Structure 1
Amino acid sequence: MTGQSSAYRDLLHLPDLPALLTATLFSRLGGAMFTLTVVLYALTRFASPALAGWLALAAVAPGVAISPAAGALLDRIGPARAIAVDMAASAALVAAMIIADLSAAGATALFVLVAMFSLTSPLSAAGVRTLLPRLVPYHALDRANGLDTAIGAIAEVCGPALAGLLAGFAGPRTSLATIAATYGAAAIGVLAIRSRPRPPPGPGALLRQTVQGLHAVIGQPTLRGLAISYGFYQVACGMLLIAVPVALAAHLSTATRDLGAGLLWAIAGLGGGIGALLAGHLRTAGRERAVMAAGMIATALAACPLAALFGLTGLLLGLPLAGLVAGAVDVSLLTLRQRRTDPAELGRVMAVSISLNVAGFPLGSAIAGALVTHSVAATFAAAGIAAALGALAVRAIPAEG
């Protein structure tokens, strides 16, 4: 890249960035398939929305709890190696879920495997966002985040559609096998990323660096504000994950429900990619808080009144709207967090911050699993309230610093 040019095509000429984005695409494709597959698996095999909610919780919560240690470890071993470790572990654990299904294991075994799956997830989630600002010039960071989010949205388009298709017509076991292969491809792909210089982890044991990373996030006003506002927003997203297939079940057969849920989330993912590219093109730097608040308000309207009051038609209109604004919200979050984080602490801070930001998602799924059995409309309304609270909480993020 020369001068101040930051066109998307120029970013692809930067060393190691194409390899990172390719590995990220496979990783997120597996993640997008996994999230929906475990929900559909619980609904199909156990006929339990509550279990689906608890599985969604197990897929994230243990990783959130261990994220401070994962961040400190990431700074020690380097982000590229950390991503590879997570991808290999994820592939192995998904394969173990297939074996458990073949042996007719119960819900407890599935829950334990899903919880173990989440333990290494902070390594790749933070690893990608730690490498990205080291590979891209500062003036092009918002464009790089837009490209990163848009490529992730490709996974959000293809992943749910593929998961719904496979789960609906070939069974969840086939979907799980595809996910394991996808994670294996990501593990191989990340090896193409050359070793990058990284800041030394600093003096002290791993435990001390873990505590330092947690303290850095809690004590930094911007990161603390992001955790609160985006946390509420993720509660809404977690609720929608459970509510959408249950709402579709009232209108469709099981196989068609799975496919329909996958297609709806795929459309939402496509909207997210478009929103991310637009946000990157329009340069959100300096306006991140306003973009986040507007996107969260739009999500609240998509959930309630659209999805809550207008049935299937409202759902068909609301979910794509929520997907479209999600891309802009995510790009704004990424850019603001990277701009206000000390590069020397990026790995450990990213791991903690990302995990805190998404902590609301499993909580929302667990709440929705219990609430949706009583009222689908009330679940959508609760999601709308959570998103609106996130927009209000944006005010907790300082304008500068």
Structure 2
Amino acid sequence: MERQNSYRGLLKIPGLFRLILAASLSRLAGCMFALTLVLFVLAQFSSPALAGWLTFGAIVPGLIVSPAAGVLLDRVGPTIAIRINMIASAVFIAAISFAGWAGWSNPPILFILVILFSLTDPLGAAGTRTLLPRLVPHHALGRANALDTAVYAIVNVIGPAMAGVVAAWLGPEAAMSMIAAVYAGAAICLSNVQRLPGLASTQTCFLRQTIEGIQMVARQPTLRGLAPTYSLYQITWGALNVVVPVFVADHYATASSSATGLLWAAMGIAGGAGAIFAGHMRVIGRERYVMAAGMVVTALAAWPVAAEFGFGGLAIGLMLASVMSGPIDVALLTLRQRCTDPQQLGRVMSISMSLNRAGSAVGSAIAGMVITESLTATFVLAGIASVGAAIATVSIPPDTAPAG
């Protein structure tokens, strides 16, 4: 296959455009669901506490079963695994919508449905990034990861906005039905993507392969180093998720929601632009340095830029951190893919991505405690986490990832 030197050329790779489109629709539906579930529960039960617990139920079970989900991904192949996630998500969310329309929704039924939804989520989240290195030639992998990351950043902006508009206009039940349809559309788009077989043996015990995946992350020096490194970096974003709305509310109480929404939208666009830029960089072989440099800039963006120079400083700091997130994420994905045995890539991706999400949750929890004492201290916390992540990144042994 001839070298692809542009994003347009990249999309000529058989199956790649369909995969990116399917992944974009699936992620759009997932972003919409996160907000719509809260709106649905508030409309049905007027209970913020129940909404919080159901959101917990839609996330945490998937994190717990991620090692087993990774084994399934490696055994059946990424194409089938992603399709299972999309079809299952469409079915369970359609069931939530139907229960709402029919007046059958109650907390036990909703908990069962959101937990079932959560259990297949690692298949879709890790599946796309397991399939990419098998569809794309090695020299184009960095650019493919950049395109995937950029689309993800933009979808994170569009999804909640669409969910809010549809729920306000047609009601949360109709929004749930729309989300189910988007998942179904994603599964249809994936139907023309080459069905790649699983690389892991089906003769080996499922439990043994699950343990092997955990051991792979724990023992392989690069993967072991990346787990705490990127989780530390995600603490920064977990803290910012809490402190930014509070900072804006303290300074612009009458328009805090609008200002916060505009900030997050601009951040999503900046993150997408950063990822596209990263696709033009020579990332392969220099991933650790790209990540460390981006994390140092992120730390400075959190403090002092965002914390000490008013709303203008906050906006500049957040844009800077968002732009840096693109190269950091692209370098992370590329390094993980390079240093992992293809037979175990699904397990490694599933486990690693779950650990990263835990980092964000920890950051938000710590920020929630610190922010009652000081806004500035919360920004400092966010900066320290990124500095720690940068130090951990350059400490990863440089010769543990094969050039591929």
State the TM bucket, normalised to the shorter chain: 0.7 to 0.9
Question: Is the counterpart of residue 233 in structure 1 residue 233 in structure 2?
Answer: yes
Partner Cα separation in structure 1 for residue 276 and residue 399 of structure 2: 25
Q: Residues 306 and 184 from structure 1, CA distance in 2 versus in 1: closer, same or farther, beyond 3 angstroms?
A: farther
Instruction: Specify the code of the residue in structure 1 equivalent to 2:320.
Output: L
Q: 1:121 to 1:107 in 2, by over 3 A?
A: same
Correspondence 1:282-361 to 2 at 5 A? 282-361=281-360
| Partner secondary structure for residue 319 of structure 1 | helix
Compute the displacement of 1:164 (Å).
5.3
Name the counterpart of 1:14. 13
Query: In structure 2, how many angstroms separate the alpha carbons of the residues matched to 1:350 and 1:69?
Result: 12
1:181, CA displacement in angstroms? 3.3
Residue in structure 1 matched with residue 32 of structure 2 by the alignment: 33
Structure 1 stretch displaced more, 278-287 or 146-155: 146-155
Which structure is richer in relative contact order (CA contacts within 8 A, separation 6 or more)?
1
Query: C-alpha separation between the residues in 2 aligned to 1:71 and 1:322?
Result: 31
In 1, Cα distance between equivalents of 2:106 and 2:377? 30
Q: Any idea what the Cα deviations from partners look like across 1:124-170, whole Å, max 9, x if unmatched?
A: 12111111111111111111111221222221232244345556787
Alpha-carbon offset, residue 237 of structure 1: 1.6
Amino acid across the alignment from 1:307? A
Q: Quote the Cα distance in structure 1 between the aligned partners of 2:179 and 2:92.
A: 10
Rounded Cα–Cα distance in structure 2 between residues aligned with 1:375 and 1:106: 40
Write the distance in 2 (CA, Å) between the matches of 1:195 and 1:97.
Answer: 30
Cα distance in 2 between the residues matched to 1:124 and 1:92: 15
Change (3 A) 1:324 1:373: same
Letter in 2 for 1:190: L
Deviation at 1:11, TM superposition (A): 1.6
Cα distance, 1:391 vs structure 2: 1.6
- In 2, Cα distance between equivalents of 1:35 and 1:295: 28
The residue type paired with residue 82 of structure 1 is A
Q: Look up the match of 1:24.
A: 23
Equivalent in the alignment of 2:76:
77
Q: Is the 8 A contact 1:167 1:258 kept in 2?
A: no
Structure 1 residues 43, 309: closer, same or farther in 2, change over 3 A?
farther
Distance 1:181 1:247 in 2: 37
The letter for the 2-side match of 1:350 is: M
Quote the offset at 1:280 in angstroms.
1.4
Q: What is the one-letter code of the residue matched to 1:241?
A: N
Tell me the TM-score normalised to structure 2 length: 0.84
Structure 1 residue 399, shift from structure 2 partner:
0.8
Deviation at 1:309? 3.6
Following superposition, the deviation at residue 340 of structure 1 comes to 0.8
Contact 1:56–1:362 under 8 Å retained in 2: no
| Structure 1 residues 258 and 65: CA distance shift in structure 2, 3 A | same
The residue type paired with residue 129 of structure 1 is: R
CA distance in 1: counterparts of 2:192 and 2:397, whole angstroms: 39
Say yes or no: does 1:275 pair with 2:274: yes
Tell me the distance in 2 between the aligned counterparts of 1:207 and 1:390: 32
Cα distance between partner residues in 2 of 1:199 and 1:175? 38
Partners of 2:259 and 2:96 lie apart in 1 by 24
State the match for 1:384 in structure 2.
Answer: 383
What root-mean-square deviation, in Å, do the aligned CA atoms of Structure 1 and Structure 2 show?
A: 3.3
Q: Alpha-carbon deviations, 1:330-380, whole Å to 9, x = none?
A: 000011111111112222222222222332122223334455566554433
Deviation string, structure 1 residues 16-72 (Cα, Å, up to 9, x no partner): 111111001112222333445567889996567x986x7765554332221110011
CA distance in structure 2 between the partners assigned to 1:373 and 1:110 by the alignment: 33
CA contact (8 A) 1:164 1:260 kept: no
| Count, aligned residues | 396
> Using the alignment, how far apart are the partners of 2:363 and 2:114 within structure 1?
17
Q: Which residue of 2 aligns with 1:91?
A: 90
CA contact (8 A) 1:297 1:391 kept: yes
Q: Which 5+ residue runs of structure 1 have no aligned equivalent? A: none
Q: Give the match's secondary structure for 2:19.
A: helix
Aligned partners of 1:389, 1:71: CA distance in 2, in Å? 29
> 1:246-285 maps to which residues of 2 (within 5 A)?
246-250=246-250, 251-252=252-253, 257-285=256-284
